[in-house]
């Protein structure tokens, strides 16, 4: 991610690329995170191993939260988009390792094809407490 852009009352966290959206927008104590996918940070591709993809996805979410001075413990709501809902158990097996308690509310939504042939896209809302 690159330096944040400032808008009155908002802090925009941009991606390294020239994407026409912010990775996250902080308004007051609430952070709205755009959809994150599990790209390998070096190759910028979806890894072959599903569990590795999920770890990269969660690390991407952690990075966006950290830019706003937050952690996964600040997440209050998560939406997971997945073209193959039969992957629910495999996603949960990795996802659960990132929380010790007080999981955020979550929806797991079946959808069409995702960018870069990702298996999951996660968007979320966090609140600083």
Task: Specify the DSSP element, H or E, that contains 72.
Answer: none
Kindly report the backbone phi and psi dihedral angles of residue 31, in degrees, each rounded to the nearest multiple of 5, phi listed first. -110, 125
CATH of the domain at 60: 3.30.1330.40
Domain that holds residue 77: 5-127
Q: How many structural domains does the chain have?
A: 1
Provide the pLDDT for residue 81: 98
Q: Burial, 54: exposed, middle or buried (Cβ in 10 Å; 0-12, 13-18, 19+)? A: buried
pLDDT, tens digit, 9 for 90 and up, residues 44-101: 999 999 999 999 999 999 999 999 999 999 999 999 999 999 999 999 999 999 998 8
């Amino acid at each position: 991610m690159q330096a944040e852009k400032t808008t009155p009352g908002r802090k925009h966290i941009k991606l390294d690329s020239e994407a026409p959206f912010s990775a996250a927008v902080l308004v007051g104590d609430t952070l709205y995170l755009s959809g994150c996918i599990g790209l390998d940070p070096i190759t910028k591709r979806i890894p072959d191993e599903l569990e590795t993809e999920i770890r990269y996805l969660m690390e991407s979410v952690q990075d966006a939260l950290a830019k706003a001075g937050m952690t996964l413990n600040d997440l209050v709501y998560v939406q997971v988009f997945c073209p193959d809902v039969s992957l629910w158990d495999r996603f949960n097996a990795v996802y659960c390792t990132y929380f010790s308690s007080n999981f955020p509310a979550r929806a797991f939504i079946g959808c069409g094809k995702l960018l870069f042939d990702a298996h999951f896209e996660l968007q979320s809302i966090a609140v600083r407490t």
